[in-house]
Amino acid sequence: MFGAGCFWGGEAMYREIDGVLDVRVGYAGGHVEDPTYKEVCTDTTGHAEVVEVTFDPAVVSYADLVHTFWEIHDPTTLNRQGPDYGSQYRSVIFFYNQAQADAATASRTHAQGYFDRPIVTSIEPAPQFYDGEEYHQNYFAKTGQPSCHRRMWSIPR
């Protein structure tokens, strides 16, 4: 589960990766049960906008997904991505097991060498994921708008 600012853009970027089977947008990391988008946008629920990525590890590795995470947002800005600000836009990786925690931590250490400012991304055990409203799912495909995310950086592996 990855929080890289606006979940619409993160979803669009992960959907492009071979081996990604599904991407759901939603909310995680807060103290309100089953929050709504309107509630999360108040910056009072503690939740981040996140994408939950289901993938085939025989096709794409978790390390590759984490590598993409660093390239599609600015992990050096606290609670902000572009024009979006608030803790709901924080940079966060939620892991599901120790292998993912270790891979994410090693990747963060590697990525830090390619940024001029400190990476502020937190790496935390995965909390409850709450699905975002249906109109947020696959948003750019539904609306025909261009994605708000792009590969911002090229970080060697």
Q: Which of 4, 6, 13, 23 is catalytic?
A: 6
Which has the closest alpha carbon to 3: 107, 91, 75, 71?
Answer: 91
CA 16, 135, 10, 60: dihedral to nearest 10 degrees?
-40
Q: How far apart are CA 14 and CA 88, in angstroms?
A: 19
Q: Is 6 a catalytic residue?
A: yes
123 close to 101: Cβ distance less than 8 angstroms:
yes
Catalytic residues: 6
